[in-house]
């Protein structure tokens, strides 16, 4: 590109110089020629005046007073038959080796006719010198144009090289905005578009990474529960009733896995906005406790459900199960003793608390437990952040209300009032 720009600039400069230089050369030639003729006439007039002054009373001319060695002059006094010839006779037009000459004839008021011939050598030299000056200026102009073209080509091509490197970085997966600007509006617009593209690509990559991490975290617990059901089926293979019951529970877990995957995909791609509905919290909590109790029993611990019953909350059943699973798993992994799920009717909302009998959260993590990848016990640090994100997406919220004993609370918008009764 740089070579093409230089070549095109050189062609344009040469054409411009020719369009200007050729008419200027012709004008210079005509100007020098006309000026030489004018000077020759002035000289002829001066010689005629001098000749008139040198005429004596008898009308004779004293030629020694008007000799001019750089020209050939013929002076014809009034009434004379023969002219007086002065100067270089080789300039005479009828000479065998006569050069090209300029001629001027003037008749004085006294009747003296003076004809002056002059060689064109000096005129030609003047024209050639003028043409050389024009050519020198033309070459200088072309050189300046080429130099400026090189600077401009460098100024234009370097941004393109840098933009190509930025595009290559984007193609290789480095999606950080470059932030370079070049002072060229067109190149700056391309750089801005590439920076915005880098930000969008970085957002997409981050979304996909978050989805992969969230999916692995959210699917781990249902898969564990499904595995436990399958193990029960294998252990009780001789009892058809138990096998049937455990198989139905395993099928329910598999269906919940499908719902969880669809929910995660919708949130990751922002193509799905959860639509809340009035949900009977009793049915969701009872099913949840039934699914998680075997895991606690296997570890010699207990999962209890207490508080008000008959409550209705505006939420998504599957999302409610995911949030509770995160809070209960967090209590199972990082806490100790009995884990209690307690429901409270606050009048304006339904509060579901999850607490355990563990030592609590370390002080340095108390204000950061909901940040991604922050964990105090070797966990992934994703569960609580994802639970809060799911809750906020449907108008609810998750808070850490007490540190010792560790108590997380899920606040849900209250649905239609029902007859509340304690567990």
User: Which tens digits make up the pLDDT trace of 61-94?
Assistant: 555 445 555 677 888 887 777 777 777 777 766 6
Which residue is associated with the tokens 């100024």?
155
Of 151, 152, 133, 139, give the one whose Cα is nearest residue 17.
139
| pLDDT score at 57 | 47
Look up residue 245 and give its two tokens: 């019951």
Do the Cβ atoms of 321 and 294 come closer than 8 Å? no
Whether residue 355 is predicted with pLDDT greater than 90 in this model: the reply is yes
Strand partners, 306: 342
Whether residue 98 is predicted with pLDDT greater than 60 in this model: the reply is no
22 vs 231, higher pLDDT:
22
Extents of the domains making up the chain: 2-138, 199-272, 274-422
pLDDT digits (tens, 9 = 90+) for 158-198: 777 787 887 877 777 777 777 778 777 877 888 888 888 88
What one-character DSSP code corresponds to residue 353?
E
Q: Which fold has domain 274-422?
A: Heat Shock Protein 90 (3.30.565)
> φ and ψ at 302, to 5 degrees?
-135, 145
Look up residue 5 and give its two tokens: 């720009």
Span 215-233, average pLDDT: 68
pTM exceeds 0.75, yes or no: no
Compute CA 252 distance to the chain's CA centroid, rounded to the nearest angstrom.
51
Query: How long, in residues, is the chain?
Result: 423
Whether residue 59 is predicted with pLDDT greater than 60 in this model: the reply is no
Q: Which fold has domain 2-138?
A: Beta-Lactamase (3.30.450)
| pLDDT score at 306 | 93
Query: Is domain 199-272 in CATH 3.30.110, yes or no?
Result: no
Give the distance between the most distant pair of CA atoms in the chain: 168
Those residues with Cβ within 8 angstroms of residue 25's Cβ, 6 or more apart along the chain or in another chain = 130, 131, 134
| pLDDT score at 407 | 92
% helix, strand, coil for the chain, step of 5: 55, 15, 25
314 vs 389, higher pLDDT:
314
Whether residue 145 is predicted with pLDDT greater than 80 in this model: the reply is yes
Look up residue 54 and give its two tokens: 């040198």
Do the Cβ atoms of 326 and 387 come closer than 8 Å? yes
Task: Determine which of 3-17, 134-148, 315-329, 403-417 has the lowest per-residue pLDDT on average.
Answer: 3-17
Q: Cα separation of 87 and 72, whole Å?
A: 4
**% of the chain beyond a pLDDT of 90:** 10
Q: Given CA atoms 313, 319, 320, 321 in this order, what sign does their dihedral have?
A: positive
């Amino acid at each position: 590109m740089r070579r093409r720009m230089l070549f095109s600039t050189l062609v344009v400069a040469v054409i411009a110089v020719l369009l200007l230089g050729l008419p200027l050369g012709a004008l210079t030639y005509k100007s020098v020629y006309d000026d030489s003729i004018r000077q020759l006439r002035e000289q002829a007039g001066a010689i005629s005046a001098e000749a008139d002054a040198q005429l004596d009373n008898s009308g004779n001319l004293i030629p020694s007073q008007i000799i001019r060695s750089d020209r050939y002059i013929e002076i014809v006094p009034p009434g004379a038959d023969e002219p007086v010839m002065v100067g270089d006779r080789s300039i005479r037009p009828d000479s065998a080796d006569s050069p090209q000459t300029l001629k001027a004839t003037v008749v004085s008021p006294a009747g003296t006719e003076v004809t002056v011939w002059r060689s064109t050598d000096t005129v030609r030299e003047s024209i050639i010198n003028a043409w050389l000056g024009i050519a020198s200026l033309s070459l200088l102009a072309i050189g300046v144009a080429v130099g400026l073209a090189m600077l401009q080509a460098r100024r234009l091509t370097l941004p393109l090289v840098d933009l190509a490197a930025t595009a290559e970085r984007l193609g290789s997966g480095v999606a950080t905005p470059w932030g370079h600007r070049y002072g060229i509006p067109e190149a700056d617009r391309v750089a801005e578009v590439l920076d915005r593209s880098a930000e969008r690509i970085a957002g997409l990559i981050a979304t996909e990474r978050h989805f992969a991490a969230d999916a692995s975290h959210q699917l781990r617990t249902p898969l564990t529960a499904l595995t436990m059901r399958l193990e029960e089926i294998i252990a009780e293979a001789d009892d058809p009733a138990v096998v049937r019951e455990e198989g139905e529970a395993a099928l329910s877990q598999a269906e919940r896995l499908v719902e969880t995957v669809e929910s995660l995909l919708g949130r990751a791609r922002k193509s799905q906005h959860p639509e809340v509905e009035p949900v009977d919290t009793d049915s969701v909590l009872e099913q949840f406790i039934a699914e998680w109790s075997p895991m606690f029993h296997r570890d010699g611990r207990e999962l209890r459900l207490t508080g008000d019953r008959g409550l209705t909350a505006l939420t998504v059943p599957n999302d409610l199960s995911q949030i509770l699973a995160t809070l209960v798993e967090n209590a199972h992994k990082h806490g100790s003793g009995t884990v209690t799920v307690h429901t409270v009717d606050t009048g304006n909302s339904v509060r579901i608390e999850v607490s355990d009998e563990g030592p609590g959260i370390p002080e340095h993590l108390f204000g950061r437990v909901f940040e991604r990848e922050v964990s105090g016990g070797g966990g992934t640090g994703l569960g609580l952040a994802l639970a809060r994100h799911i809750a906020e997406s449907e108008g609810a919220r998750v808070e850490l209300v007490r540190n010792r004993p560790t108590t997380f609370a899920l606040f849900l918008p209250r649905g239609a009032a029902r007859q509340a009764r304690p567990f």
